[in-house]
Amino acid sequence: METLTHYTNPMSRGMRTQKILEVFDLPHESISIDFMNGQTRTEEYLKIHPYGRVPALKHGDLTVIESGAITLYLCDLFAEELKAPRPGTPERALLYEWLFFFQTTLEPVAIKGMSDKSDKRQIQGEVRTLLTAMASRFRGPYVLGEEFTVLDAILHVELAWYKMMGIFPEGLEPYQGFLSRTAERMEL
Ligand SMILES: N[C@@H](CCC(=O)N[C@@H](CS)C(=O)NCC(=O)O)C(=O)O
């Protein structure tokens, strides 16, 4: 298989896909892109990612952008290693639901929490409401049931990010228990 090269940064959404590569021990090399110092805007990098963001994944002549698309591409390449559910199954539908939920519903709320002027309590409340609703889509002990899958790695990264920003709804189950259950495996 051609080398997988992952362009990322530890303080970015690239951690979603970086953690998948690391936790499931997928063959790859990672290149850290310092976006604070303009490395996403160089002519060379814009050939990899047309609007200059991380993450991006290069696989042979192909480059894949958008963390959700990279996640699904990895699921196609490494279905067995990632315990990715088969297309057309209810579990695969859950994977799609959570991925879109993170990026289109939850992320805009979380992004508000990045501003120093934000009301963290209010944002934490909004996150709590959304995650409480999604608990009906969490089978337990892991999202899809008994087995730790790619979806758990992604959920862990998102929740850890919220914790770091002070917008994680402390004490909310099943997420509180989930975070401690997955901590050792995710932190490597
Ligand atoms: N929707 C994209 C968002 C990517 C994104 O906005 N990445 C930020 C870091 S979290 C970035 O690269 N910013 C650098 C820049 O704007 O130069 C994804 O999920 O991949």
- pLDDT per residue, tens digit, the chain (188 aa), is 899 999 999 999 999 999 999 999 999 999 999 999 999 999 999 999 999 999 999 999 999 999 999 999 999 999 999 999 999 999 999 999 999 999 999 999 999 988 888 899 999 999 999 999 999 999 999 999 999 999 999 999 999 999 999 999 999 999 999 999 999 999 86
18 lines ligand 1 (CB under 6 A): no
d(CA 45, CA 117): 33
Give the residue carrying structure tokens 């401690």.
180
Q: How far is the CA of 153 from the centre of ligand 1 (A)?
A: 19
Q: How far is the CA of 92 from the centre of ligand 1 (A)?
A: 26
Q: How far is the CA of 148 from the centre of ligand 1 (A)?
A: 27
Give the residue carrying structure tokens 């490395």.
39
Closest CA to 87 of 72, 102, 69: 72
Residue 137 is encoded by which pair of tokens?
Answer: 């889509």
- What's the distance, Cα to Cα, between the start and end of the chain in Å? 25
Phi and psi at 29, nearest 5°, equal -125, 145
d(CA 27, CA 13): 20
Give the residue carrying structure tokens 């963390």.
67
48 lines ligand 1 (CB under 6 A): no
